[in-house]
Amino acid sequence: MKPLTADRIIKGIIIIVIVAVLLYLTYTFMNLVAYGLVALILSYMLDPLVNRLQAYGMNRTLGIILVLALLGFIIAGVSTTIFPTVGQQIVELTKQLNLKNIQMVAQKMDTRLNSLFPFIPYGFLQQHLTSLAQQIFNVAGISTTISNIIGFFTNVFAALLVIPFATFFFLKDGNYFRRNLLRLVPNRYFETTLNIIDKIETRLGLYFKSIALESLLVAILSSLLLTVAGLQNALSVGIAIGIANSIPYFGPILGYGLSVIVAIFETGDFSLVGACLLAVLFTQLVDNVVFQPFLFSRSAGMHPMIILFAILIGAQVAGLIGMLVAIPIATIIKIIVVEIHWSLKNYYVFSQKDS
């Protein structure tokens, strides 16, 4: 180990300042960082297709443009066929979410809850749901909601501008970025770093492809089964269940809760609750027995207890977004720890003295 000198102290301070500035910029421009992560995920998912076109003799830039154009046409097709229906269902459901209906549903749920669990005070749900609804429907709440809606569409517009361009450059210059990053790595750490990057890219690529396909299949199946069950807003609820299903353990719970709430608001009673619960239950059974074993057979690699704690920590730190990114972050940390541990045992690169 080298003695502590003024140069080493100054170098350490500079590194700390750079890291602090990067963390500050990341926090300040969190939206842009999120867009960059989305673009990076898309590049992981689309890169094999671009590579296949390049292998057939097509120029890589032209292949990237073709793949992104195809993706754009698919999104446009979905936007003009499915999104209007979902939007209409959401509007109709929103009309039912008035204070009078919420009080009525809360009263019926209180009656049923008290009959099943007598120790729960009667009026518990009605009191809390009514209080929450009053906060939502007051003037300040409406103003805040409108501001949030405007901000949402502003973010969507910015995302539509940033994400395609970032995805294009990730696909086009990904290898260039990697080479420049690896040039900064000292020779003694080169092989370990290369293994870490390669395994992270492989594992995350498999994970994101699997989770996207699983969410799509769950959304389709749950929408069909909820339609058969008699739910009018089956498509919008099914899509929400598919998206929520990307969160292990907690996603299915959200799906059950959402289907029950929508069923009660649509009918004003509990007549559809049983059928909707059976539809979601069957969807989860198919997901656990068929979809997950098939899709995640290669991308699995963590103990369920680790996944659970990662999701809980993510929820504590960043709410819903934290739950969504918890598994990818935990995967990255695990790969780094495993690779460094393996290198310590086999290469001893981290125990050698600096030359």
Query: pLDDT tens for residues 179-193?
Result: 887 787 777 778 788
pLDDT at 171 over 90: no
pLDDT at 25 over 70: yes
pLDDT, position 120: 67
d(CA 1, CA 306): 35
Q: For all residues of the chain together, what is the average pLDDT?
A: 75
186 vs 58 pLDDT, higher one: 58
pLDDT, position 90: 65
150 vs 52 pLDDT, higher one: 52
Contact (CB, 8 A) for 183 and 248: no
pLDDT at 14 over 60: yes
Contact (CB, 8 A) for 346 and 326: no
d(CA 207, CA 129): 38
d(CA 280, CA 261): 13
Tens of pLDDT, residue by residue over 198-224, are 888 778 777 788 888 888 999 999 999
Provide the H-helix boundaries in 230-288. 234-244, 250-267, 273-286
**Whether the model pTM is above 0.75:** no
pLDDT, position 270: 77
pLDDT at 112 over 90: no
pLDDT, position 125: 62
Q: Which residues contact 292 (CB under 8 A, 6 or more apart)?
A: 214
Q: Which long-range contacts (CB under 8 A, 24 or more apart) does 329-334 make?
A: 330/302, 330/306, 331/200, 331/203, 331/204, 331/207, 331/301, 331/302, 332/200, 332/204, 334/301, 334/302, 334/306
Q: Copy the structure tokens of residue 230.
A: 């008699």
pLDDT at 139 over 50: no
Residue found under tokens 């092989």? 191
